[in-house]
Structure 1
Amino acid sequence: MKAEIIAIGTEILLGQIVNTNAQYMAEELADLGIDVYFQSVVGDNRDRIKQALQIASERSDLVVCCGGLGPTADDLTKDVIADFTQSKLVIEKQAEEKILELFKGGSDTLITSNKRQANTIEGSHLLKNEVGLAVGFVHKYQDTYYAVLPGPPREMKVMFEQEFKPLIDGLLGEREKLYSKYLKFGNIGESAVEDTLKELIIKQDNVSIAPYAGIGEITIRLSVKANSPEQAETYFEKVAKQIRDLLGDHLYSEENESLEQALAQHKIAGFGVYEVNTNAYLSHRVLSSDAPNENLVISTTKVEKHSITEALAESQFTDFIENNNLKNAIGLFHCQISQASVTPSGRPKKRFFIALCVNNQVSIIERTFIGDMQAVQIRAAKTALFLLLKVL
């Protein structure tokens, strides 16, 4: 099945809000085995919404419209779809009762405008709204399904998960679904990953290989259509093994998790973080985990006026460990806060010492990173997390 997502709302076109709904729905539809080939955004204009529906109907089996279900005059989605599909809008009684109860004692105008949110197309599949007022629906017209969901992300996600997803799953019946597997890498750049895997990517067959770059870490997503998770895993394993053979030294996880999330899985006892001449990004990342270490010790020094040598880094790091009775720790030292170094092409170059302590064994690693200060500090912190994970 081919799907298209149409986001409706002038505020999206003006950049006043970010269209996160499309990202969520595209991922969820892919999990259902539905291919999303097109996405579009259209403002609150009757003619342009109708034009978008006409284009979508000619190339997609499922058109998912999101937004424009509110009580105001510019919330036109249901009216335009009813007109486009030559259908009749009717009031859904339970939704109407919910609105009447909420606005009891309000003006007739207020009640009338809000009752629009209870509209659905006659004979369509109703999508209840458990956290808001505007109901959605799925309506079939001339071999194309038209789905309507609310714009507020919280309402949309609950309706999608509880109402829309089970309905579409049942309508489509037995079919192949899209499955994904994630391989996560650190301490390597995007270009190096792509160069190493270029032959595999060129020759990819039923399993697609897609690298995604972030500062300091790389994700490779493997995707395949299969009849079951077990069948998908058999397809994945051959390709994953080839990638492990090529990039195994940089692999830190086979789950879709960040470096700091992977580190949190270790539940390290007696653990601390020490930073000098940084913006404390490493400490922030360790603390940002969903399950941060309860006894984590954090210490940061904003500015060390003197250039930091390896001996000074080791001395300060060891003192931090001993003063706090730690067995494990990670440290990050920006060596020269006042002197800028550049590459031959003029790009800024920064030296760091990364300090590791695992089971009272201390090691100091020197690294140089190229780029602006913010990117360099993120990359240095991510590299430190990766190196600690590899030691662990």
Structure 2
Amino acid sequence: MRAEILAVGTELLLGQIVNTNAQYLSQGLAELGIDVYYQTVVGDNEARLRQAIQIARSRADLLVFTGGLGPTLDDLTRDALAADLGRGIGLHEPSLRKIEEMFAGRSAELIESNRRQAMLIDGALPLRNDTGLAVGNALSADGKHYLLLPGPPREMKPMFDNDGSDWLRKLLGESAALRSVMLKFAGIGESALEELLMDLIRGQTDPTIAPYAKEGEVCIRVSTKASSEEEAARRLEPTLQAIRARTERYLYAEEDIPLEAAVIRLLTRRRQTVTLAESCTGGMIAASLTTVPGSADAFLGGVVSYSNEVKHKQLGVPLTLLEGPNAPGAVSSETAAAMAEGMRRAADSDFALSVTGVAGPAGSEGKPVGLVYVGLSEKGKGVKVEKLQLSGDREGIRIRATKRALYLLWLTLTGQGEFVKE
């Protein structure tokens, strides 16, 4: 089954709202074994919407709509599709009663436009809305299938996950679903990783190998279509083994989790702790770690030591390193080492990471933008420092420094090698 997603709303075209629904639906449809070939965004204009429907119907078996089911006159999705199919629209009484009860409970007046949210295309299956008012529609006509979902993500997601997916599974019967394993990598760029796996990527048939990249991390989705988890595992395993053998130093997870989650998981299992001494990252490493549930068991805290005064007073970095004509300066291997050691001793943690550098937009201490030093102090083993020369804008440098610091801690925790020394 081939699908097209049609997101309806002028606000999407104006960039006032990001179309996160399309991403969510693409992932969900792929898991059901439905191939999404096109995504269309169309404004609140009935003529253009009907044109988009006709184009989508010419190239897809399933049309999935989001948006345009609300109470206002510019909520046109249901009306446009009904007109295109030559069908009428009627009230779905259970949905109307739900709306009436909600307004009565709030002691609010039910105006006529709110009744529009209970409208159903003739012959459509109603899809319950557990988090809102607009009823969804699912129908088939002339060999094509139509799924109408509300626009707000908090309404769309549960409707798709429940009634919408159930309806699609019945359409699909016993067809094979797409099953995937997400491999997550750090410490290597997309191009370098692709080079390691080039022969596997070029020779792929089933399973397929699809690389993706974002700041500081790369992921690969390995996918196959299979009718059961057992069959999928059998098909996927030879490819997964081949990738593991070449990428062990960079492969930090075989599930879709961020690097910080993998680090917290390792520290927790080992019953060890980490602290942070951040300068140019400005607390970004701490922020990433504290997004992980349960991070309090492993992350004790840290210091954002942006100024030399804080580096000296809070972390014990000697002024002889920070100031003076012959001092290495705040952005140096020596200062990174002293920051990490000072933080670990002060908190009595098992590990302490430090980051000091020049994020830009201008250089500092006569040193170039992107020069960053990462230090790691480990209890009983001393301190190690890595020198980085990162590219990009200020935010990109901070993100890459954050990911690199976490990767170096992950390398140490997994015993996968020493730092690249300066």
Question: Does TM, normalized by the shorter one, top 0.5?
Answer: yes
Match of 1:195, SS state, is helix
1:338 to 353, 358, 364: 364
User: Residues 198 and 278 (structure 1 numbering): CA distance in 2 closer, same or farther, change over 3 Å?
Assistant: same
Deviations 1:210-262 (A, max 9, x none): 11112211111111111112211222221122222222211111111111011
Aligned alpha-carbon RMSD (Å): 2.0
Question: Are positions 1:271 and 2:297 aligned together?
Answer: no
Pairs aligned (count):
384
Match of 1:380 in 2: 401
Match of 1:391 in 2: 412
- Return the offset for 1:312: 4.0
User: Residues 319 and 370 (structure 1 numbering): CA distance in 2 closer, same or farther, change over 3 Å?
Assistant: closer
Counterpart code for 1:313? A
Counterpart code for 2:173? G
Match of 2:228 in 1: 228
Deviations 1:328-359 (A, max 9, x none): 322223289723545xxxxx4413132142x5
Counterpart code for 1:4? E
How far apart, in 2, do the equivalents of 1:36 and 1:340 lie?
52
How far apart, in 2, do the equivalents of 1:276 and 1:66 lie?
44
Deviations 1:39-79 (A, max 9, x none): 10111111111111111111111111111111111111111
- Return the offset for 1:12: 0.8
Match of 1:173 in 2: 173
1:363 to 359, 383, 406: 383
Match of 2:12 in 1: 12
User: Residues 373 and 82 (structure 1 numbering): CA distance in 2 closer, same or farther, change over 3 Å?
Assistant: closer
How far apart, in 2, do the equivalents of 1:70 and 1:146 lie?
18
Contact conserved, 2:357 with 2:370, CA < 8 A, in 1? no
1:163-242 residue pairs with structure 2 within 5 A?
A: 163-242=163-242
Match of 1:300 in 2: 304
1:277-288 residue pairs with structure 2 within 5 A?
A: 277-288=280-291
Unpaired segments ≥5 residues, structure 2 = 309-321, 324-328, 414-422
Contact conserved, 1:99 with 1:111, CA < 8 A, in 2? no
Contact conserved, 1:277 with 1:303, CA < 8 A, in 2? no
- Return the offset for 1:106: 5.9
- Percent identical: 39
How far apart, in 2, do the equivalents of 1:340 and 1:144 lie?
66
How far apart, in 1, do the equivalents of 2:34 and 2:246 lie?
32
Question: Are positions 1:317 and 2:346 aligned together?
Answer: no
Match of 2:318 in 1: none
TM-score, L = length of structure 1? 0.92
Deviations 1:132-175 (A, max 9, x none): 11101111111001111111110111111121111211222101
Match of 2:419 in 1: none
Counterpart code for 2:340? F
Match of 1:123, SS state, is coil
Contact conserved, 1:369 with 1:379, CA < 8 A, in 2? no
- Return the offset for 1:277: 4.3
How far apart, in 2, do the equivalents of 1:240 and 1:111 lie?
58
Contact conserved, 1:188 with 1:250, CA < 8 A, in 2? yes
TM-score, L = length of structure 2? 0.86
How far apart, in 1, do the equivalents of 2:405 and 2:57 lie?
51
Counterpart code for 2:396? A
Question: Are positions 1:291 and 2:283 aligned together?
Answer: no
How far apart, in 1, do the equivalents of 2:89 and 2:220 lie?
46
Question: Are positions 1:326 and 2:352 aligned together?
Answer: no
Deviations 1:1-54 (A, max 9, x none): 111111111111111111111111111011011111111011111111111111
Contact conserved, 1:278 with 1:302, CA < 8 A, in 2? no
Match of 1:345 in 2: none
83-92 vs 294-303, which moves further: 294-303
User: Residues 115 and 330 (structure 1 numbering): CA distance in 2 closer, same or farther, change over 3 Å?
Assistant: same
How far apart, in 2, do the equivalents of 1:356 and 1:240 lie?
34
Contact conserved, 1:340 with 1:350, CA < 8 A, in 2? no
Match of 2:15, SS state, is coil
Match of 2:407, SS state, is helix
Contact conserved, 1:369 with 1:380, CA < 8 A, in 2? no
User: Residues 92 and 338 (structure 1 numbering): CA distance in 2 closer, same or farther, change over 3 Å?
Assistant: same
Contact conserved, 2:183 with 2:220, CA < 8 A, in 1? yes
Contact conserved, 1:42 with 1:52, CA < 8 A, in 2? yes
Unpaired segments ≥5 residues, structure 1 = 343-347
Question: Are positions 1:65 and 2:69 aligned together?
Answer: no
